Amino acid sequence: MHILRSDCTDLSYAAGKQVKAYRAGYNGLANNGPDTGNRSWVNVTWGAVKATLDVVVNVGSAVVLDAKVKGIQHALRLTVDGKLGAETYWAVWRLSRASREGRTGFYKMKDIDDRKELQRNIGCKFVDGSWISAGSEMPQRLRDAVGGVQRAMGISIDRVWDDARDGRVFGALVSAAGFKP
């Protein structure tokens, strides 16, 4: 693709000739042959091109954001709607806190309903709000859920929540979604 901004104030002499030839119906290249391509862009301004590109970028960003949120919701077994709202935000927060702080952190989640919701979200067989004994499903399920969220966010998967990396990426996702916790 070749783009030449004809409104640029410091075009070289050769570039200026190329623009004039193109506008006259020639290809503007060294052979100065007729232009046989699509000429719908001949008199389009940079502002119009940029506006079109901005729409494409915005639509693309919205699709990527929606896919990431859906991936997170799927990993946490939430309702998958692609909208980053309170349910998704707090589920990730509980998951990150439990993963970051380990067994002690799970106990530190003072509200038993929060602990039960975390267990439900990551698909534990037993939902009782307590830490499950070592070697049982909870630690592995917790790591798998963190890995699923990391995969959805598009970052390296180590199954351990890292505030410096994972928290920053999730924060950017929350900001892009316009969610205010």
Residue 126 has pLDDT above 90, yes or no: no
- Residue 60 — pLDDT band, cuts 50, 70, 90? low
Number of residues written out for the chain: 181
Q: How many CB atoms lie within 10 A of CB 91?
A: 24
Residue 87 · residue 78 · CB < 8 Å = yes
* Average pLDDT of the chain to the nearest whole number: 81
Q: pTM for the full model?
A: 0.61
CB 22 within 8 A of CB 42: yes
> Quick one: pLDDT at residue 80?
92
Q: Token pair 């719908």 is at which residue?
A: 40
* Rounded average pLDDT over 157-170: 91
pLDDT tens string 28-50: 777 888 888 777 767 777 777 77
Domains in the chain: boundaries: 13-43, 55-177
Residue 1, pLDDT above cutoff 50? no
